[in-house]
Structure 1
Amino acid sequence: MYDLPSEEQSEILPTMYDLPSENPEESGLPDEFHDWQGDILGETCCPQTYPADQIFVASDLNLYYDSIHPFWYKRPDFFLAVGISRFRQGKDIRLSYVIWQEKVSPIVAVEFLSPGTEDENLGLTYSDLNKPPTKWEVYEQILKIPYYFVFSRYTNQLKVFQLKRNRYREQILTESRFWIPELELGIGLWLGFYKGCQRLWLRWYDGEGNWIPTPEESVDKERMAKESAMQRVEEERLAKESAIQHYHQK
Structure 2
Amino acid sequence: MLKYDPLACLPSSEELPDSDDTPVDNELQDLIPGLLKAILAMAWPERMDWYFGVDMGIYYDPDLPAIVPDGFLSLGVERFYDENLRPSYVLWEERRVPVLALEVVSQKYRGEYSTKKAEYAKLGILYYVVYNPNRRRKSRLEIYKLVNNAYELHDGNPVWLPEIGLGIGIERGTYLGIPREWMYWYNQQGQRFLTPEEKEKLAEQKAQQAERKAQQAEQKAQQAEQKAQQAEQKAQLLRERLRSLGVDPDSLL
1:170 maps to amino acid = L
* Pairing 1:78-227 to 2, within 5 Å after superposition: 78-88=71-81, 93-117=85-109, 120-123=111-114, 134-141=115-122, 143-155=123-135, 157-173=140-156, 176-227=157-208
Identify the residue that residue 4 of structure 1 maps to in structure 2. none
TM-score by length of 1: 0.80
Cα distance, 1:170 vs structure 2: 0.6
Cα RMSD (Å) of the superposition? 2.4
Cα distance, 1:93 vs structure 2: 1.4
Q: Equivalent residue of 2:167, what SS?
A: strand
1:192-234 CA-partner distances (Å, limit 9, x unpaired): 1100100010111123332222333323222221111110111
* Higher Cα Rg, which structure: 2
Cα distance, 1:165 vs structure 2: 1.2
Identify the residue that residue 37 of structure 1 maps to in structure 2. 32
Cα distance, 1:73 vs structure 2: 1.2
Given the superposition, is the C-alpha separation of residues 160 and 22 from structure 1 closer, same or farther in structure 2, using an over 3 Å criterion? closer
Q: Does 1:240 align with 2:233?
A: no
2:38 maps to amino acid = E
Cα distance, 1:39 vs structure 2: 1.3
Q: Equivalent residue of 1:52, what SS?
A: coil
Cα distance, 1:46 vs structure 2: 5.3
2:185 maps to amino acid = W
Identity of aligned residues (%): 28
1:14-66 CA-partner distances (Å, limit 9, x unpaired): 12222223444x3x525322221121110112597995211100110011122
Structure 2: state its 5+ residue gaps: 232-253
2:129 maps to amino acid = F
TM-score by length of 2: 0.80
Cα distance, 1:182 vs structure 2: 2.1
Identify the residue that residue 251 of structure 2 maps to in structure 1. none
Given the superposition, is the C-alpha separation of residues 48 and 166 from structure 1 closer, same or farther in structure 2, using an over 3 Å criterion? farther
More displaced 10-residue stretch of structure 1: 201-210 or 52-61:
201-210
Given the superposition, is the C-alpha separation of residues 159 and 56 from structure 1 closer, same or farther in structure 2, using an over 3 Å criterion? same
2:96 maps to amino acid = V
Given the superposition, is the C-alpha separation of residues 233 and 51 from structure 1 closer, same or farther in structure 2, using an over 3 Å criterion? closer
The answer on whether the counterparts of 2:107 and 2:134 sit within 8 Å (CA) in structure 1 is no
Given the superposition, is the C-alpha separation of residues 8 and 47 from structure 1 closer, same or farther in structure 2, using an over 3 Å criterion? farther
Q: Equivalent residue of 1:221, what SS?
A: helix
Name which structure has the greater RCO, CA cutoff 8 Å, separation 6+: 1
Q: Does 1:54 align with 2:49?
A: yes
Separation of aligned partners in 2, 1:215 and 1:30: 26
The answer on whether the counterparts of 1:54 and 1:83 sit within 8 Å (CA) in structure 2 is yes
Which structure has greater helix proportion?
2
Q: Equivalent residue of 1:104, what SS?
A: coil
Structure 1: state its 5+ residue gaps: 1-6, 124-133
Separation of aligned partners in 2, 1:50 and 1:234: 34
